[in-house]
Amino acid sequence: MTFGREHILVVEDDHDSATLIEAFCEEIGYCASVAHDAKTARLALGDELPDALILDVGLPDASGLDLLADLRAAGHTSELPVLLISGNINPVVQRRGEQLQAHALLRKPFRLGELSLHLGEALKLRARPEADRIVHHQQDASEVGLDGLEFPVDDPDFLAREVAAEVHRAQRYGHPLSLILACAVDEVSKAHPQLRQASRRRVLTLLRNEARETDRVFRAGPDSALLLLPETELQGALTFARRLVALCDASAALAQSITCFAVGSLEATAADGPPLLQRVREAAAAYQGPANGLVVAPPSSSP
């Protein structure tokens, strides 16, 4: 273990998946180790208690749920943060995970950004009272439902981390990725908090209604929302943004405010240039177009 870094034990029998999760944990700043079965996990837990456990439900020599039950029954591991992962989440697994106070239950294949979010939350929850601990299921409350479209108030870097994790995943597998940042930029709304909130809510509703199943919608600030488009190149994102502009123009409610859609793509991001999210934010800030319109973030270049 590396001193000063939180230690994550990954218990996963699939060697490729375990290696990927271990590498990702290291990438985002944790120290990680791997056990491929319940027996090895028990030995590792006996040698040194990790800060959190990522536990596969289907292990070759025992159920991950049985291992979790044993951990909860033992005094020194009763409050260990545990994230359950499984390719087969049914009501029985879900209910037992809740009973055993799993901090998350993620269906394979899951996004690495999703894993990062739940892992960070689980580690923070260690210091909170037991009554505050809840099970977060496959879809995170930060992404679904208008009331939940917000990054945690105690973690302002959440959005940047989520986008960075998706960028890492796309680069690792050579997949395209694009962002659309929707900003309500009229000065009247900015001067009146209630109007500002209503304007952003209308934009969020528009993005949610138009988003595909694989897309992700986030609040991105007091008057902006972000649409993350996996597997989407720049031209596809531009087509999407033009549709959003047309819908704004056709909507009496949305036409009351000035909405800018800033579009950026991973394909135009240099390895040592500004991050994708930063470029999209800068493009939106510089927008001086018509009432509803779009702007493309310029390609990044080496400094």
Instruction: Give the pLDDT confidence of 49-70 residue by residue, as tens digits.
Output: 999 999 999 999 999 999 999 9
pLDDT at position 213 is 72
pLDDT at position 70 is 93
Match domain 7-132 to its CATH number in 3.30.565.10, 3.40.30.10, 3.40.50.1000, 3.40.50.2300: 3.40.50.2300
Question: For the chain, which residues make up each domain, given as ranges?
Answer: 7-132, 175-296
Confidence of residue 200 (pLDDT cuts 50, 70, 90): low
Collapse the DSSP code of 36 into the 3-class scheme (helix H, G, I; strand E, B; otherwise coil) and give the result.
Answer: coil
Per residue in 8-48, pLDDT (tens digit) is 999 999 998 999 999 989 888 899 999 999 999 999 998 88
pLDDT at position 231 is 87
Q: Where are the alpha helices (DSSP H) in the chain?
A: 15-27, 38-47, 64-73, 91-99, 112-125, 158-173, 187-191, 193-210, 234-250, 276-285
Match domain 175-296 to its CATH number in 3.40.1180.10, 3.30.70.270, 3.10.20.30, 1.20.120.1200: 3.30.70.270
Residue 11 · residue 56 · CB < 8 Å: yes
pLDDT at position 107 is 86
pLDDT at position 126 is 64
The reported pTM is: 0.53
pLDDT over 80 (residue 289): no
pLDDT at position 196 is 56
